[in-house]
Structure 1
Amino acid sequence: MMGSLHIQHDGHNAEVEKIREEEYPMLKDSIYLDHAGTTPYPKSLMDRFAHEMTTNLFGNPHSASASSQLSTQRIQDIRLRALQFFNADPADFDLVFVANATAGIKLVVDTMRCLPTGFDYAYHQASHTSLVGVREEARSSVCLDNRQMEDWLVGDCPLKEEEEEQRPILFAYPAQSNMDGRRYPISWSSQVRHSEETETIRNRKTYTLLDAAALVSSSPLDLSNAQTAPDFVVFSFYKIFGFPDLGALIVRKDSQDIFASRRYFGGGTVDMVVCLKEQWHAPKDGFLHERLEDGTLPVHNIIALDVAMDVHRELFGSMEKVAAHTGFLVRRLYRGLEGLRHANGEEVCTIYSPDPELEQTGPTVAFNIHNSQGTWISLAEVEKLAMLKGIHIRTGGVCNPGGIASALGLEPWEMKQNFSSGFRCGTDNDIMGGKPTGIIRASLGAMSTIKDVAGFVHFMEEFYREDTLPVSLPVLPSPDLDSDTKLQLQPPLQNTPELVVKSITVYPIKSCAGFSVPPDTDWEVRPEGLAWDREWCLVHRGSGQALSQKRYPKMALLRPNLDFTRGELQVTYAGAGEILSSSGPPSSISVPLSKNPKMIVPKKSGTDTEQRSTTPTEESQGPKPRRILLSNESPILAITTTSVDALNASVAALNPEAQRAISEAVFRANLIFTPSHSSSSYDPSSSPSSSPSSPSSPLISGDGLNPKLKPYEEDTWSSVHIGTNKHGFQMLGSCRRCHMVCIDQKMGEKISGGEPFVTLSKTRRFEGKVFFGVHMGLAEEENAGSGKVVKVRVGDVVLPQV
Structure 2
Amino acid sequence: FNIFQNVIYTFLCSFFLFILLYFIKRLFVLNPCRILEHFNTCPEEYSVIFTSGCTAALKLVADTFPWKAVSNEGPGSQFCYLTDNHTSVVGIRGVTALQGVGTVSVLPHEVETRARKPQTQTNGEEECSVPHLFCYPAQSNFSGRKYPLSYVKGIQSQQLYPHRGRWFVLLDAACFVSCSPLDLSQYPADFVPISFYKMFGFPTGLGALLVRNEAAEVLRKTYFGGGTAAAYLVAENYFVPKPNVVSRFEDGTISFLDIISLHHGFETLQKLTGGMLNIQLHTFGLARYTYIVLSCLRHSNGKPVAQIHYDNDFQNIAEQGAILNFSLLDCHGRTVGYSQVDKMASLFNIHIRTGCFCNTGACQHYLVISNQNVRSNLHAGHICGDNIDLIEGRPTGSIRVSFGYMSSFEDCRNFLRFVVNCFVDKPLILDQKRLIKLKSAEPMESNGQVITPSPERITPSGDTVSKEGKKNNGSSHTLTNLFIYPVKSCASFEVTEWPLGPQGLLYDRLWMVVNENGVCLSQKREPKLCLIRPVICLASNTLQLQVSGMEAVTVPLETSLTNSDLRTSQSKVCGDRVQTVDCGEEVSAWLSEFLGKTCHLIRQRPEFLRDMKFGRAKAGDCGATALSLVNEAQFLLINRASVSFLQEHIANRYDSVNEGTWHDMEQLIQRFRANLVISGQEAFSEDGWSHLTIGDTQFQVIGRCGRCQMIGVDQKSATRTQEPLRSLSECRSGQVTFGVYLAHQTARNTTAVLILSVGACVIPRISESTEKP
Determine if contact 2:467/2:685 at 8 Å carries over to the other structure: no
Amino acid at match of 2:753: V
Aligned position for 1:660: 661
Amino acid at match of 1:530: L
- How much has 1:299 moved relative to structure 2? 1.9
* Of 736, 742, 760, the match for 1:770: 736
User: Structure 2 vs 1, CA of residues 356 and 570 (structure 1 numbering), >3 Å: closer, same or farther?
Assistant: same
- How much has 1:634 moved relative to structure 2? 3.2
**Within-5 A mapping of 1:55-134:** 67-112=20-65, 119-134=77-92
C-alpha distance in 2 between matches for 1:606 and 1:254: 48
Amino acid at match of 1:457: L
User: Structure 2 vs 1, CA of residues 514 and 342 (structure 1 numbering), >3 Å: closer, same or farther?
Assistant: same
C-alpha distance in 1 between matches for 2:239 and 2:462: 72
Determine if contact 2:66/2:131 at 8 Å carries over to the other structure: no
C-alpha distance in 1 between matches for 2:159 and 2:473: 80
Determine if contact 2:705/2:737 at 8 Å carries over to the other structure: yes
Aligned position for 2:499: 524
- How much has 1:264 moved relative to structure 2? 1.8
Q: Deviations over 1:595-618 (max 9, x none)?
A: 569965554649997789x9xxxx
C-alpha distance in 1 between matches for 2:379 and 2:66: 32
C-alpha distance in 2 between matches for 1:123 and 1:589: 63
Aligned position for 2:509: 534
Partner-residue secondary structure (3-state), 2:298:
coil
C-alpha distance in 2 between matches for 1:620 and 1:247: 48
Determine if contact 1:213/1:234 at 8 Å carries over to the other structure: yes
Aligned position for 2:397: 438
* Of 366, 371, 385, the match for 2:330: 371
User: Structure 2 vs 1, CA of residues 104 and 717 (structure 1 numbering), >3 Å: closer, same or farther?
Assistant: closer
Deviates more, 1:98-107 or 1:461-470: 461-470
C-alpha distance in 1 between matches for 2:140 and 2:380: 29
* Of 208, 216, 232, the match for 1:248: 208
User: Structure 2 vs 1, CA of residues 302 and 523 (structure 1 numbering), >3 Å: closer, same or farther?
Assistant: same
User: Structure 2 vs 1, CA of residues 509 and 154 (structure 1 numbering), >3 Å: closer, same or farther?
Assistant: farther
- How much has 1:388 moved relative to structure 2? 0.6
C-alpha distance in 1 between matches for 2:557 and 2:218: 64
1:262 equivalent in alignment to 2:200: no
- How much has 1:502 moved relative to structure 2? 3.6
C-alpha distance in 1 between matches for 2:543 and 2:92: 52
Q: Deviations over 1:684-742 (max 9, x none)?
A: xxxxxxxxxxxxxxxxxxxxxxxxx354454566655545xx44445555433222211
TM-score, length-normalised on structure 2? 0.76
Amino acid at match of 1:627: T
1:549 equivalent in alignment to 2:554: no
C-alpha distance in 2 between matches for 1:745 and 1:540: 21
Partner-residue secondary structure (3-state), 1:447:
coil
Amino acid at match of 1:175: A
- How much has 1:564 moved relative to structure 2? 3.6
Q: Deviations over 1:581-603 (max 9, x none)?
A: xxxxx995736524569965554
User: Structure 2 vs 1, CA of residues 548 and 207 (structure 1 numbering), >3 Å: closer, same or farther?
Assistant: farther
1:355 equivalent in alignment to 2:310: no
C-alpha distance in 2 between matches for 1:306 and 1:330: 29
C-alpha distance in 2 between matches for 1:440 and 1:357: 21
Aligned position for 1:560: 534
**Within-5 A mapping of 1:338-737:** 338-353=295-310, 354-357=312-315, 360-467=319-426, 470-471=462-463, 473=466, 475=468, 492-493=474-475, 496=476, 499=478, 501-517=479-495, 519=496, 522-526=497-501, 528-537=503-512, 546-571=520-545, 574=547, 590=555, 593-595=558-560, 602-603=571-572, 605=574, 622-625=620-623, 627-629=625-627, 630-656=629-655, 657=658, 660-661=661-662, 662-674=667-679, 709-715=681-687, 721-723=693-695, 726-732=696-702, 734-737=704-707
1:215 equivalent in alignment to 2:168: no
Aligned position for 2:275: 318
User: Structure 2 vs 1, CA of residues 69 and 764 (structure 1 numbering), >3 Å: closer, same or farther?
Assistant: same
Aligned position for 2:438: none
- How much has 1:178 moved relative to structure 2? 0.8
- How much has 1:537 moved relative to structure 2? 4.5
Amino acid at match of 1:737: R
Determine if contact 1:114/1:263 at 8 Å carries over to the other structure: no
Unaligned runs of 5+ in 2: 1-12, 71-75, 120-124, 427-459, 577-607, 767-773
User: Structure 2 vs 1, CA of residues 436 and 731 (structure 1 numbering), >3 Å: closer, same or farther?
Assistant: closer
Aligned position for 1:174: 137
1:281 equivalent in alignment to 2:275: no
Determine if contact 2:48/2:210 at 8 Å carries over to the other structure: yes
User: Structure 2 vs 1, CA of residues 427 and 402 (structure 1 numbering), >3 Å: closer, same or farther?
Assistant: same
Determine if contact 2:544/2:552 at 8 Å carries over to the other structure: no
Partner-residue secondary structure (3-state), 2:385:
coil
1:742 equivalent in alignment to 2:712: yes
Partner-residue secondary structure (3-state), 1:356:
coil
C-alpha distance in 2 between matches for 1:476 and 1:113: 64
Amino acid at match of 1:122: C
TM-score, length-normalised on structure 1? 0.74
Determine if contact 2:309/2:326 at 8 Å carries over to the other structure: yes
Determine if contact 1:638/1:775 at 8 Å carries over to the other structure: yes
C-alpha distance in 2 between matches for 1:376 and 1:620: 24
Amino acid at match of 2:669: E
Determine if contact 1:196/1:205 at 8 Å carries over to the other structure: no
C-alpha distance in 2 between matches for 1:593 and 1:119: 66
Partner-residue secondary structure (3-state), 1:278:
coil
User: Structure 2 vs 1, CA of residues 545 and 153 (structure 1 numbering), >3 Å: closer, same or farther?
Assistant: farther
Aligned position for 2:150: 187
* Of 198, 202, 206, the match for 1:239: 198
Partner-residue secondary structure (3-state), 1:380:
helix
- How much has 1:462 moved relative to structure 2? 1.6
- How much has 1:672 moved relative to structure 2? 2.3
Determine if contact 1:213/1:235 at 8 Å carries over to the other structure: yes
* Of 84, 104, 110, the match for 1:142: 104
C-alpha distance in 2 between matches for 1:469 and 1:502: 27
Determine if contact 2:636/2:675 at 8 Å carries over to the other structure: yes
1:792 equivalent in alignment to 2:766: no
Determine if contact 1:176/1:362 at 8 Å carries over to the other structure: yes
User: Alpha carbon RMSD of aligned pairs, Å?
Assistant: 3.8
Aligned position for 1:330: 287
C-alpha distance in 1 between matches for 2:525 and 2:262: 32
C-alpha distance in 2 between matches for 1:335 and 1:376: 20
C-alpha distance in 2 between matches for 1:588 and 1:115: 70
Unaligned runs of 5+ in 1: 1-56, 478-488, 580-585, 676-708
1:298 equivalent in alignment to 2:259: no
User: Structure 2 vs 1, CA of residues 717 and 109 (structure 1 numbering), >3 Å: closer, same or farther?
Assistant: closer
Determine if contact 1:567/1:594 at 8 Å carries over to the other structure: no
Determine if contact 1:637/1:775 at 8 Å carries over to the other structure: yes
Name the count of aligned residue pairs: 657
C-alpha distance in 1 between matches for 2:735 and 2:623: 23
- How much has 1:377 moved relative to structure 2? 0.4
C-alpha distance in 2 between matches for 1:557 and 1:67: 52
- How much has 1:649 moved relative to structure 2? 2.5
Partner-residue secondary structure (3-state), 1:442:
strand
- How much has 1:515 moved relative to structure 2? 2.8
Partner-residue secondary structure (3-state), 2:286:
helix
Aligned position for 2:444: none
User: Structure 2 vs 1, CA of residues 733 and 80 (structure 1 numbering), >3 Å: closer, same or farther?
Assistant: closer
- How much has 1:305 moved relative to structure 2? 0.8
Q: Deviations over 1:176-200 (max 9, x none)?
A: 01111001111212211111999x7
C-alpha distance in 1 between matches for 2:141 and 2:644: 45
